Structure 1
Amino acid sequence: MLFIILMITSLYFAFNLILIAVWREMMAKHQVSAHATDTKLTVIIPVRNEEKYILQLLKNLNEQSYPADNFEVIVANDGSTDSTESIVLNYQEEAKYSLKILNLLNDASTSPKKRAIQKSIEISSGELLITTDGDCSVSPNWLMSIQQLYKNNDAKLISSPVTFTEKDSLWNTIQIIEFASLIGSGACAMYLKKPNMCNGANLAYTREVFEEVNGFAGNENVASGDDEFLMHKIAKKYPDKVFFNPVFDAIVRTASQENLTHFYQQRRRWASKWKHYDNWQVSALAVFIFLANLSVLVAYCMLDNYFGKGILLLKFSAEFYFLYSIIKFLGYQSKAKYIPIVQLIYPFYVVFFGLLAQGKGYRWKGRRLE
């Protein structure tokens, strides 16, 4: 038993060393030549009850350095019961870009977000489709950074970084650091041409490839996964045309979860798609991460001897440096002192949600979904 724990932890240590090396290489080698801003873009924003945030995002889009006459914005209003619709309609005159609102019926769709994106694509005109969420904020060069990477690489899909908007609270800081690990590891996997995760809050893909892989067909009955299932389909057909965008201007910032209840429902929603992956490599990696963190929980019970302390040191050392590299890129270098706190509680989180993923159902945006 002890030998197995040591072996798993040693592999996890080596895994993090590889991530560090890949991240450094990706950041050092990233270069994008200047290209004409002649690509028609469509920004798709699925929303449900986002009156608190949607106006800020629309204003951010009004400040884009990308030509306003060369991108359109479609807000897919998925049965909002607040003032989201009126806010969007009132902003149409002020918007420099073409702003459309697509009102969807509040029906019992199994996957409302996929439906919202699909319906938006049907009325869009862009060559490159970019999705984000209604509670996000973006920099003035957001669209430019994505379009230039697209032109430079003839990309089929581009995943750009996502983080949480900074607040003066430990709970917010913990979420920022925890989520940074997902963004960093997903970016490294894409650089190695083995993509395993992305985030629909900052995702771009061509209309042509969306139609070529038949969009969301094959996982319509899974509420979550509008981003990763599509990425896996595209990567299977074009393994060299899936890219991560390692540019600070490309970062999308979104609201962190206000409390544990909302955090639980969000992470349960994310975990619900794990068992539907048909890529054995992605599934194997998920199992490996689960076992590595389970080993830490065992080590916690052995802190009275050198073996338990050695296991924790082995896991936390390389992991700390990798997390530091990501949060530094995200502009949150001052939060590095909180990384050990996240490292201590993260194993409980991984094991808990790893087991929870075997269950069914969660609540999101006022709906009960499977």
Structure 2
Amino acid sequence: MNLLPFLLFAALAVYLLALVVLSSKWKKIKAAKDPAQGGVDYPVTLLVPFRNEGRNIAGLLRNLADLSYPNLQIILIDDHSEDGGAEQVEEWISSEKKHNFNLISSQGRGKKAAIEEGVVMANANIILTTDADCALSADWVQNMLRAFDDPTVQMVAGPVMTKGGHTIFESFQQIDWSSILLLTNFFFSVKKPIMCSAANMGYRKEVFYHVKGYLGNHENLSGDDSFLLEKVYRRFGPQAIRYLPESDVLVKTNPARGLKGFLSQRARWASKWNKHQFWQNAGGAVLSALLSLASIGSVLLLMSGTAGVGMFALYWFLKLIFEYSVLGRVLKTYEIRPSIGYFVVASICHPMYVVVVAFLSFFAKSSWKGRKR
């Protein structure tokens, strides 16, 4: 039993050190002074695949109509929706006479096939992508295009954060997203990008064809973002990929409405860990699970009398303070400030959440918008 505190605090030290190292690359981030500067003459195509997003369609269309970029083609790709969403889009385009909006129906199955058809229909060389449950700022397009002023840049990614924060569950999701953004920014900073989100990304059309799109990845239910990132990185190198963590390119997405849907989404993401060619993906997943098990195992300290209770309290105090400092800094960048109480709940629940998601990624059947694999 005497060895247990040493092992637990050794695991904690690794975790806290990782937080410090990751946060060292999160510099003070400011939005561009002139959001309209850079790339305003580029024709741009925005692809928005959707499946069974009927409840989000009206808000999505209003948001897309408010984008201020003048030379923009918007292609909405229906991935066999069963809730009337495609009909909503078609009726809105007709009634509003939006000539730069196009609706197409995907002939293939899945989000990757939908995007591939959208790329074929795109009339611009610069392609941006987002999801149907997301909200974009009016200047999002031109802010994303800043990076493409550099001709060596072939792909751009930006941050994603859930809306809300009014409940403990919504705040938990935002805190979880802050850890994702912290990891994303760090690995981009050290020229080893391992993840990004198709809800906020862009690339040159010819590059998509050059790396053969999603060839070799169609069997995976998700991964239209990270697998493409991996292909571009391997073909063109880290200098061809740019990450923009600034708040003026932030894309906001809807939080999961229930625990089951949230865990299913994260398990689907986690199920890709052993399908990537980069060891960082697998190594990070395994390390995260082990450190989470250590946090759960810290309850054994309570069986060691008064000294054990003191060590248990110290363990969780250090964990909470470091998380509040590091992850709170990330959230502050996007003007999100959860209460310390929400951080306490997140700190306690997160290790259990990681272990549950790891279990589900191995043994549960992945699903997305009514599809299972």
TM-score normalised to structure 2 length: 0.90
- Paired residues in the alignment total 362
Name which one, 1 or 2, has greater alpha-carbon Rg: 2
Identify the residue that residue 105 of structure 2 maps to in structure 1. Answer: 103
Residue 78 (structure 1) aligns with: 79
Percent of matched pairs sharing the same residue? 28
**AA partner of residue 162 (structure 1):** V
Deviations 1:39-70 (A, max 9, x none): 22111111111121122222222222211xx2
The Cα of 1:141 is off from its aligned counterpart by 0.9
CA displacement 1:187-233 (0-9 Å, x = unmatched): 22212212121111111111122112111112111111111111112
Query: Hey, what's the Cα distance between the residues in 2 that align with 1:277 and 1:144?
Result: 31
- Partner Cα separation in structure 2 for residue 367 and residue 185 of structure 1: 29
Q: Which amino acid aligns with 2:193?
A: P
Q: Is the 8 A contact 2:157 2:196 kept in 1?
A: yes
Moved more, 135-144 or 359-368: 359-368
1:226 to 192, 202, 224: 224
Match of 1:119 in 2: 117
Which secondary structure state, in structure 1, belongs to the residue aligned with residue 357 of structure 2?
helix
For residue 23 of structure 1, what is the aligned residue in structure 2?
26
TM normalised by structure 1 equals 0.90
* Distance in 2 of aligned mates of 1:179 and 1:157: 22
Match of 1:176 in 2: 174
Aligned partner (choices 340, 356, 361) of residue 357 of structure 1: 361
Q: Is the 8 A contact 1:272 1:360 kept in 2?
A: no
1:32 and 1:215 mapped to 2: Cα distance?
A: 33
* Partner residue, 2:289: 290
Instruction: Measure the CA separation in 2 of the matches of 1:179 and 1:167.
Output: 12
Equivalent-residue separation in structure 2 for 1:335 and 1:314 (angstroms): 17
In structure 2, relative to structure 1, the CA distance for the partners of 1:129 and 1:321 (3 Å cut) is same
Aligned ranges 1:187-266 → 2 under 5 Å: 187-237=185-235, 238-266=237-265
Measure how far apart 1:75 and its partner are.
0.8
Residue by residue, what CA displacement relative to the aligned partner does 1:88-113 show, whole Å, maximum 9, x if unpaired?
Answer: 112224265611111135x7x4xx01
Partner of 1:165: 163
Check if 1:186 corresponds to 2:189: no
Structure 2 residue ranges without an equivalent (≥5): 303-307
* Structure 1: gaps (5+ residues): none
Instruction: Determine which of 304, 322, 328 is the counterpart of 1:318.
Output: 322
* Structure 2 contact 46–75 (Cα < 8 Å) conserved: yes
How far has the Cα of 1:317 moved from its partner?
A: 2.6
Partner letter of residue 125 of structure 1? N
Distance 1:319 1:167, change over 3 A: closer
Q: Give the residue type in structure 1 aligned to 2:47.
A: I
Q: Kindly tell me: are residues 32 and 279 of structure 1, through their superposed partners in 2, closer, same or farther at Cα, counting changes over 3 Å?
A: farther
1:57 paired with 2:43, answer: no
Deviation at 1:164, TM superposition (A): 1.3
What are the superposed Cα offsets for residues 118-168 of structure 1, whole Å, 9 maximum, x if unpaired?
Answer: 111111122121111111111101111101122157422211111112163
> 2: CA distance between counterparts of 1:284 and 1:32?
40
Q: Is the 8 A contact 2:48 2:131 kept in 1?
A: yes
**CA separation of 1:16 and 1:247: change in aligned 2, threshold 3 A:** same
- Over 3 Å counting, the alpha-carbon distance change for 1:236 and 1:95 in structure 2 is farther
How far the C-alpha of 1:285 sits from its partner, in A, is: 1.7
SS across alignment from 2:27: helix
| Counterpart-to-counterpart distance in 1, 2:99 and 2:157 | 23
Q: Shift of residue 345 of structure 1?
A: 0.3
- CA spacing shift, 1:297–1:31, aligned 2, 3 Å: farther
Equivalent AA in structure 2 for residue 342 of structure 1: A
Of the structure 1 ranges 72-81 and 175-184, higher mean CA displacement relative to structure 2 is found in: 175-184
Match of 2:17 in 1: 14
